[in-house]
A and B are shown apart, each in its own frame.
Chain A
């Protein structure tokens, strides 16, 4: 069964710290991998999408890496801010006719001022 795991489930850091969120997937034959942000009571906002042929993607203070062979992705957040507090979801697309995403359960991040 294709599964996506995110560790840790929750993380609390002081403002200004650099941090890493982890995502692992059981089937390495992925099409792409996405990181989303979800604020309480809100929908999902796409942060970064990494195609299977790519190693990393960057957007501002965010950097996502992908290692297909080991079944891992990391989301690096530099110089964290209280506004970064949210739940971060990793999702894997295995392609095929469905095109749906397999989601991890998320990491709830709290950045303290």
Chain B
């Protein structure tokens, strides 16, 4: 039982490049979330999903897209990376009323 895993762990992009962050969970959780963590800002919700095939916007969705084609995977895409998207990205999953389980994070730097 690996819990929540994130790929990649680190990435450096140039402005305008695109990339996809992968989150996978093996706990059969319905809910999945993408957060970003920035110094002095805490964790903020980017997008979330309440089940396979569904996605919705969170607090800071601009510049990101997501997909949940399979229940166990939640993908976060950056179509045209900007320096303001330099951050640590965390994925989390949960059952309906349980605690949230977090992945180890992806450190992204956009130059």
Q: Which residues of A contact B (CB under 8 A)?
A: 34, 36, 41-46, 49, 89, 91, 97-101, 103-106
Contact = CB atoms under 8 A, between A and B. Distances in A.
Interface size class of B (residues with CB under 8 A): 20 to 34
Interface of B: 31, 33, 40-45, 48, 50, 56, 58, 90, 92, 94, 96, 99-105
B49 to A, nearest CB: 10
A44 B90 contact: yes
A37 to B, nearest CB: 11
Nearest to A48: B99
Nearest to B9: A41
B105 A42 contact: yes
Contact of A99 (B41, B96, B104): B96
B42 A104 contact: yes
B103 A101 contact: no
B105 A43 contact: yes
A74 B33 CA distance: 26
A91 B104 CA distance: 18
Nearest to B90: A43
B97 to A, nearest CB: 8
Contacts of A105: 40-42
B31 A99 contact: yes
Contact of B42 (A41, A42, A106): A106
